[in-house]
């Protein structure tokens, strides 16, 4: 057999029909197990190309095995796919989706090019069959040809409309190939357009240019290994060998071998270097598996991922870790020796441990505990860079205020977290280029615009603070952090001794189930959700009920207590509930409730305004942007 590395588009460049034998299984790939991972690989190379990364390594998407050439009875050569038919089919669906995206957004030159990678051209005996580059098993042919031939998302959805059976809660799934096409279209819309279309139009590179660069990535940075069988090769034996299951080496294992092999070649003392710099990475701490997404990863792999991302200022998926690290060392030669390389890894390993196991007396403790509470670990590459800069405590305090304010305001306003990896890597890139300072970080965050990365100003922050959006966006653990910080504003020399190390829980002052014990301001009972649906638009009780419901989840109606109140007490009237709250917590923020004889809409609004004044001091807004200053 003969193996060759071929670009993703190179597989489909030749006039050929790749036929999946009838004895192969039907198309079974799914979003969770395959499509998302494939898209992650492709999107990464798109981004590399769009960002002009000259040293981006080629990524291999897998292998496929093709049988010997079939005796040509037509004008189109035919090969049978022995292994890799699921990947091969999915790549065709992806190319079709990219073609149609380009057509929809008038990137017609690229769309025309892509058309040549899904359809054969020229003379054919049976064009209805031979025009397709890939020919799946009989059971899959109709959906496959529909996806490839529809020419647009709209037409494909017209051919496969959503159907819901009687009494069913959700729509029936479409055929898998149709779902795959729609998945890739959704991801392309998110990558190239995003939720903020105005920002996309104002992007540094026009859409057409970004699409052309991504097309270039398909032609150069994404490859597969094509294994061509020759006479005498047993296709079944090769298929079984390729699909045998072994225990793969972890990225940290590969990196260790790579590093110490180079040490031996350069006559550096391997054992001495291992004892001095690497031995600690064999401690249980580094072997512990930590959840990342749906998978568990050894902490050592996560550390090296963040370390390398900090150095390269690009996102590094763990499955690309070894290739990216090797490419960086061989291509950039960032260290004069293996010992210097190990010294950096060891030093930053200690810094990473500071981040994930923070000590209360450490200046970074407030920031890293905030990031942990808000589950924002995409900031770790930035932190690793900052920890290398020998910043003063004053600098760290300013940086912590800026980052926490930026992230908390976005969280309160319910803004997306999807772009945070690119935000923090871009910020790290700026600091490496222009120098690191608290002022530069504050200004860079202030210059961001658009829903995907803007720093909300006071008006937007206040609007979300005073409505139920904050409760829905933050949920319990993050709200506890927010109220802990507000509580600090009430501390004085007498109250500082009060410990709040015990677990805290969020309590609604006017309960969510208020209707039974909390009459409306006019003394009438509130309406249930069913009654609200039937009420007239001008019904006074309905208007008052909706008003109250809109305030229930506002910051002004919530607090934290050291032990959750019994549900029967929690829903009681204010006269019964207030002493129970004070009994459950002596936090200064709750002692302000002592003189509140009534708890109603007016007191909620007033308290929300009072707390917001503190919030502006804790989480200040952005500075004027550089363009506004200019």
Give the per-residue pLDDT at 504: 85
Residue with tokens 């004069």: 336
Q: Is 237 exposed, middle or buried (0-12, 13-18, 19+ CB in 10 A)?
A: exposed
More confident residue, 266 or 291: 266
Q: CA 242, 247, 250, 255 torsion: positive or negative?
A: negative
End-to-end CA distance of the chain: 65
List beta partners, residue 358.
none
Q: Is 470 helix (H, G, I), strand (E, B) or coil?
A: helix
- Residue 486 structure tokens: 């507000």
- Residue 14 structure tokens: 């030749």
Average pLDDT over residues 564-586: 82
- Residue 234 structure tokens: 């047993």
Average pLDDT over residues 164-175: 83
Residue count (the chain): 630
Residues 367 and 399: beta-carbon distance below 8 Å:
yes
Q: Is the pLDDT of residue 362 over 90?
A: yes
Give the per-residue pLDDT at 224: 86
Dist. CA 470–CA 557, nearest whole Å? 11
Q: Is the pLDDT of residue 423 over 70?
A: yes
Q: Is the pLDDT of residue 64 over 60?
A: yes
| 357-361, 406-410, 569-573: range with lowest mean pLDDT | 569-573
- pLDDT tier at 243, thresholds 50, 70, 90: low
> What angle, rounded to 10 degrees, do the helices at 85-104 and 141-150 form?
30
Give the per-residue pLDDT at 235: 59
Average pLDDT over residues 535-558: 90
Q: Is 555 helix (H, G, I), strand (E, B) or coil?
A: helix
pTM score, two decimals? 0.73
Q: For all residues of the chain together, what is the average pLDDT?
A: 87
- pLDDT tier at 236, thresholds 50, 70, 90: low
| 43-47, 200-204, 373-377, 430-434: range with lowest mean pLDDT | 200-204
Give the per-residue pLDDT at 261: 83
pLDDT digits (tens, 9 = 90+) for 318-338: 888 888 999 999 999 999 999
- Residue 133 structure tokens: 């580059």
Name the region of 199 (left: φ>0; alpha: ψ -120 to 50; beta: rest).
Answer: alpha
Q: Is the pLDDT of residue 630 over 60?
A: no
Give the per-residue pLDDT at 572: 87
| 134-138, 194-198, 255-259: range with lowest mean pLDDT | 194-198
Dist. CA 476–CA 508, nearest whole Å? 11
Number of helical (H) and strand (E) elements in the chain, helices listed first? 30, 10
pLDDT digits (tens, 9 = 90+) for 385-405: 999 998 999 999 999 999 999
Could you tell me what percent of the chain has a pLDDT over 90?
52
Residue 431 C-beta-side C-alpha neighbours within 13 Å: 30
Q: Would you tell me how many other CB atoms lie within 10 Å of the CB of residue 87?
A: 18
Give the per-residue pLDDT at 412: 92
Q: Would you tell me how many other CB atoms lie within 10 Å of the CB of residue 129?
A: 15
Q: Is the pLDDT of residue 199 over 60?
A: no
Residues 339 and 273: beta-carbon distance below 8 Å:
yes
Dist. CA 143–CA 178, nearest whole Å? 7
Secondary structure (H, E, C), 203-228: CCCCHHHHHHHHHHHHHHCEEEEEEE
Q: In angstroms, how far is CA 183 from the centroid of its own chain?
A: 16
Dist. CA 601–CA 609, nearest whole Å? 12
| 168-182, 246-260, 293-307, 539-553: range with lowest mean pLDDT | 246-260
Q: Is the pLDDT of residue 123 over 70?
A: yes
**Which residues make Cβ contacts (< 8 Å) with residue 199, sequence separation at least 6?**
449, 450, 451, 452
Average pLDDT over residues 354-378: 94
Residue 521 C-beta-side C-alpha neighbours within 13 Å: 12
Name the region of 377 (left: φ>0; alpha: ψ -120 to 50; beta: rest).
Answer: alpha
Q: Is the pLDDT of residue 314 over 80?
A: yes
Q: Is the pLDDT of residue 72 over 70?
A: no
Show contacts of 233-237: CB within 8 Å, 24+ apart: 233/1, 235/65, 235/67, 235/82
Q: Is 473 exposed, middle or buried (0-12, 13-18, 19+ CB in 10 A)?
A: middle
Give the per-residue pLDDT at 69: 67
More confident residue, 271 or 195: 271
Residue with tokens 């009060």: 498
Q: Is the pLDDT of residue 197 over 80?
A: no
Residue with tokens 């079974």: 28
- pLDDT tier at 555, thresholds 50, 70, 90: very high
Give the per-residue pLDDT at 74: 67
pLDDT digits (tens, 9 = 90+) for 424-445: 999 999 999 999 999 999 999 9
Secondary structure (H, E, C), 59-116: EEEEEEEECCCCCCCCCCEEEEEEECHHHHHHHHHHHHHHHHHHHHCCCHHHHHHHHC
Residues 64 and 226: beta-carbon distance below 8 Å:
yes
Give the per-residue pLDDT at 472: 77
List beta partners, residue 19.
80, 135
Which of 243-252, 257-266, 457-466 tops mean pLDDT? 457-466
- pLDDT tier at 246, thresholds 50, 70, 90: very low
Q: Would you tell me how many other CB atoms lie within 10 Å of the CB of residue 31?
A: 14
Dist. CA 311–CA 149, nearest whole Å? 45
pLDDT digits (tens, 9 = 90+) for 514-541: 988 898 888 888 898 888 888 898 899 9
Max CA separation in the chain (angstroms): 94
- pLDDT tier at 251, thresholds 50, 70, 90: confident
Closest CA to 193 of 175, 215, 170, 210: 210
Residue with tokens 């057509």: 103
Q: Would you tell me how many other CB atoms lie within 10 Å of the CB of residue 490?
A: 14
- pLDDT tier at 493, thresholds 50, 70, 90: very low
The angle formed by the CA atoms of residues 524, 596 and 617, to the nearest 5 degrees, is: 115
Name the region of 167 (left: φ>0; alpha: ψ -120 to 50; beta: rest).
Answer: left
pLDDT digits (tens, 9 = 90+) for 444-487: 999 988 778 999 999 999 988 988 767 877 878 899 999 999 99
pLDDT digits (tens, 9 = 90+) for 271-292: 899 889 998 887 888 888 888 7
Dist. CA 285–CA 423, nearest whole Å? 29
Dist. CA 609–CA 549, nearest whole Å? 18
Give the per-residue pLDDT at 450: 79
| 173-187, 222-236, 289-303: range with lowest mean pLDDT | 222-236
Average pLDDT over residues 109-120: 96
Helix (H) or strand (E) holding 507: strand 505-508
Dist. CA 254–CA 249, nearest whole Å? 7
Q: Would you tell me how many other CB atoms lie within 10 Å of the CB of residue 451?
A: 17
Name the region of 151 (left: φ>0; alpha: ψ -120 to 50; beta: rest).
Answer: left
């Amino acid at each position: 057999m003969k193996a060759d590395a071929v670009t993703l588009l190179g597989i489909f460049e030749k006039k050929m029909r790749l036929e999946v034998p009838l004895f192969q299984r039907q198309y079974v790939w799914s979003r969770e197990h395959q499509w998302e991972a494939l898209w992650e690989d492709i999107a990464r190379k798109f981004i590399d190309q769009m960002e002009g990364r000259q040293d981006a390594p080629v990524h291999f998407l897998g292998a496929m095995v093709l049988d010997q050439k079939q005796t040509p009875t037509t004008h189109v050569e035919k090969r049978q796919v022995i292994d890799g038919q699921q990947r091969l089919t999915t790549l065709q669906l992806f190319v079709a989706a990219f073609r149609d995206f380009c057509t929809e957004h008038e990137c017609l030159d690229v769309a025309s090019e892509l058309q040549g990678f899904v359809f054969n051209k020229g003379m054919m005996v049976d064009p209805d069959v031979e025009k397709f580059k890939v020919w799946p098993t009989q059971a899959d042919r109709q959906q496959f040809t529909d996806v490839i031939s529809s020419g647009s998302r709209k037409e494909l959805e017209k051919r496969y409309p959503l159907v819901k059976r009687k009494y069913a809660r959700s729509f029936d799934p479409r055929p898998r190939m149709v779902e795959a096409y729609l998945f890739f279209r959704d991801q392309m819309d998110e990558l190239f357009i995003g939720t903020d279309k105005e920002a996309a139009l104002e992007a540094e590179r026009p859409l057409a240019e970004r699409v052309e660069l991504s097309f270039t990535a398909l032609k150069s940075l994404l490859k597969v290994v094509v294994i061509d069988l020759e006479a005498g090769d047993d296709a079944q034996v090769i298929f079984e060998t390729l699909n045998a299951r072994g225990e793969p080496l972890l990225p940290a294992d590969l990196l260790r071998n790579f590093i110490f092999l180079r040490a031996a070649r350069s006559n550096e003392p391997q054992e001495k270097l291992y004892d001095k710099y690497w031995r600690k990475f064999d401690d249980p701490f580094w072997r512990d598996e930590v959840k990342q997404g749906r998978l568990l990863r050894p902490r050592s792999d996560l550390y090296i991922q963040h370390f390398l991302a900090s150095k390269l200022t690009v996102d590094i998926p763990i499955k690309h870790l070894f290739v990216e690290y090797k490419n960086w060392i061989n291509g950039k030669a960032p260290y004069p020796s293996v010992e210097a390389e190990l010294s950096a890894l060891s030093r930053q390993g200690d810094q990473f441990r500071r981040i994930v196991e923070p000590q209360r007396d450490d200046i970074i403790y407030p920031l890293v505990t905030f990031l942990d509470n808000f589950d924002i670990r995409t900031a770790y590459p930035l932190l690793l860079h900052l920890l290398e800069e020998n910043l003063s405590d004053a600098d760290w305090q300013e940086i912590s205020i800026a980052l926490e304010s930026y992230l908390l305001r976005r969280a309160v306003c319910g803004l997306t977290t999807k772009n945070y990896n690119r935000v923090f890597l871009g910020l790290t890139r700026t600091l490496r280029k222009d120098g690191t300072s608290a002022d530069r970080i504050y200004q860079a965050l202030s210059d961001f615009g658009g829903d995907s990365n803007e720093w909300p100003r006071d008006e937007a922050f206040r609007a979300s603070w005073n409505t139920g959006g904050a409760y829905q966006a933050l949920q319990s653990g993050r709200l506890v952090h927010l109220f802990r910080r507000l509580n600090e504003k009430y501390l004085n020399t007498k109250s500082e001794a009060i410990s709040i190390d015990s677990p805290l829980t969020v309590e609604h002052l006017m309960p969510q189930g208020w209707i039974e014990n909390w009459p409306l301001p006019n003394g009438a009972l509130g309406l249930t959700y069913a009654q609200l649906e039937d009420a007239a638009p001008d019904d006074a009780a309905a208007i008052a009920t909706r008003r109250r419901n809109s305030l229930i989840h506002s910051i002004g109606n919530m607090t934290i207590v050291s032990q959750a109140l019994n549900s029967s007490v929690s829903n009681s009237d204010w006269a019964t509930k207030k002493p129970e709250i004070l009994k459950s917590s002596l936090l200064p923020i709750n002692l302000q409730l002592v003189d509140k004889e009534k708890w109603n809409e007016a007191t909620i609004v007033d308290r929300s305004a009072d707390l917001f004044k503190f919030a502006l001091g804790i989480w200040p807004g952005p500075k004027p942007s550089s363009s506004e200053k200019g």
